[in-house]
A = this chain, B = another copy of it.
Amino acid sequence: MTITDTTATETNDPIRNGVDTATLFATLDAVKQAPEAAKFQFRAHNQWVSGTHNRSTITDYSGVGEERSHERTFVFDADHPAVLIGQDHGPTPTEFVLHALAACLTAGLATIAAARRVKLTEVRSTVTGDIDLNGILGLNPDTRNGYQQITVHLTVKGDAPAETLREIVQQSRARSAVYDIITNRVPVTIEVNTP
């Protein structure tokens, strides 16, 4: 069961949870007709500042067959806190991963609930990631570099029974890009230029 499991046409109150369900269903129909439209490439451009401090710019991407830009250019600093030999100019890179997971699950929740005619009143979450830095410090070869486990503590309220809300969470998990990236393997290639 996916977000397409409700009627694909609705003219009364198509905006639900801030999601324009008419546009959502029209988009689904369009992609069904032209699956190539759903191929996107996202990008981040990063520049080292000093030490563990660096800055990414997110603006351009491609999708639906053409180059695109966000309405604004987004800029994010990352750093380490002093206890990890940085100056705390931004969150650690690993904290951005937790934000990405929370954001992906929450966006999916609102969209799927809208498609299923459920009005949400509140969605909030705390995502925790446990990490043993003996890994990245190279002090214990048996310790992985990344998170050993991540837990999402999610609160959802809306005009549907708890069971329905839980099913919507389950469907959001089943269709989350970031959940898939974290829980499964993504191949990463690093091309190095040393001019």
Q: A3 — which chain B residues lie within 8 A by C-beta?
A: 137-138
Q: Which chain A residues numbered 14 to 66 have a C-beta less than 8 Å away from chain B?
A: 17-20, 23-24, 27-28, 31-32, 35, 38-54, 56, 58, 61, 63-64
Q: A56 — which chain B residues lie within 8 A by C-beta?
A: 98-99, 102-103
Distance of A95 Cα from B76 Cα, bound (Å): 11
A159 within 8 A of B: no
Q: Which chain A residues numbered 138 to 195 have a C-beta less than 8 Å away from chain B?
A: 138-140, 144-157, 162, 165-166, 169, 173, 175-195
B81 touches A126 (CB 8 A): no
The smallest beta-carbon distance between A48 and chain B, in angstroms, is 4
Q: A149 — which chain B residues lie within 8 A by C-beta?
A: 186-189
Chain A: number of interface residues, binned into ranges: 35 or more
Q: A116 — which chain B residues lie within 8 A by C-beta?
A: none
Q: What are some 16 contacts across the A-B interface (CB < 8 A)?
A: A31-B134, A31-B137, A35-B134, A38-B132, A43-B128, A46-B127, A56-B103, A70-B81, A74-B90, A79-B107, A94-B100, A138-B175, A145-B180, A146-B178, A152-B191, A185-B185
A interface residue numbers (CB < 8 A to B): 2-4, 17-20, 23-24, 27-28, 31-32, 35, 38-54, 56, 58, 61, 63-64, 68, 70-72, 74, 76, 78-81, 83-86, 88, 90-111, 114, 120, 122-140, 144-157, 162, 165-166, 169, 173, 175-195
